[in-house]
């Protein structure tokens, strides 16, 4: 009879380990973002805003350079 109890205890221990692994996996999945597409859209939006800022800055620099050039008169 003790061998059956030993086997039963082993099965219970394995079952507990399986359940623990499954619960850990569920917890990890719960921590992930729900919508993976929103991350891409957010990154693209941030990149777009950055590029607009750089473009605006470059236009301002170009305008300053045009106004800073001395007027050359034809002699």
Q: Using one digit for the tens of pLDDT, what is the confidence trace for 44-72?
A: 999 999 999 999 999 998 888 887 766 56
Same domain, 48 and 21: no
Q: Which domain, by its residues, includes 24?
A: 1-32
Q: State the Cα–Cα distance between residues 26 and 18, nearest whole angstrom.
A: 12
In a domain, 74, yes or no: no
Q: What is the pLDDT of residue 31?
A: 81
∠ at Cα 25 (19, 31), nearest 5°? 140
| Contact (CB, 8 A) for 48 and 40 | no
Query: Does the reported pTM lie above 0.75?
Result: no
In a domain, 75, yes or no: no
What total number of domains does the chain contain? 2
In a domain, 44, yes or no: yes
Q: State the Cα–Cα distance between residues 58 and 47, nearest whole angstrom.
A: 16
Same domain, 26 and 5: yes
In a domain, 28, yes or no: yes
Q: State the Cα–Cα distance between residues 39 and 68, nearest whole angstrom.
A: 44
In a domain, 54, yes or no: yes
Same domain, 4 and 25: yes
| Contact (CB, 8 A) for 58 and 65 | no
């Amino acid at each position: 009879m003790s061998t059956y109890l030993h086997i039963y205890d082993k099965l219970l221990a394995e079952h507990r380990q399986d359940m623990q692994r499954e619960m850990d996996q569920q917890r990890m999945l719960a921590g992930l973002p729900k919508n993976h597409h929103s991350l891409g859209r957010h990154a693209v939006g941030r990149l777009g805003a950055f590029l607009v800022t750089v473009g605006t800055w470059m236009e301002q620099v170009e305008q300053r350079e045009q106004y800073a050039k001395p007027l050359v008169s034809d002699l």
